[in-house]
Amino acid sequence: QVQLVESGGDLVQPGGSLRLSCAASGIIFSMYEMGWYRQGPGKQREQVATITRGSATNYADSVKGRFTISRDNAKNTVYLQMNSLKPEDTAVYYCSARHPIMVTRSWGQGTQVTVSS
């Protein structure tokens, strides 16, 4: 049973920082590409950042230079460090796990990030 549990979402002021965590269970974590997605009010879900089995990273242009994705295979956890937050970063942030070969994807329930003064 695959389970992804996000945490760390909060209300933060513009320019502030936040770190999201996603704890995974039910998978061999090290074999999966992990990612963070977000869905803002009235918007489609978009990819924010991904990290491969080998820790190669990819970022959306809108967050490049501000967000950092990382993983700790010993803890079965992926993180998203968010700095210099902007109001447009307000969204529900979802953790995702994708098996590169089996073409399967699992989703967490999401955690709310609100950037507002």
**pLDDT one-digit tens code per residue, 13-45:** 999 999 999 999 999 999 999 999 999 999 999
Both tokens assigned to 115: 């950037």
Q: What pairs with residue 3 in β-bridges?
A: 25
Using the predicted structure, report yes or no on whether residue 102 has a pLDDT greater than 90: no
Both tokens assigned to 46: 């978009």
Residue type, 1: Q
Identify the residue with better confidence: 71 or 100.
71
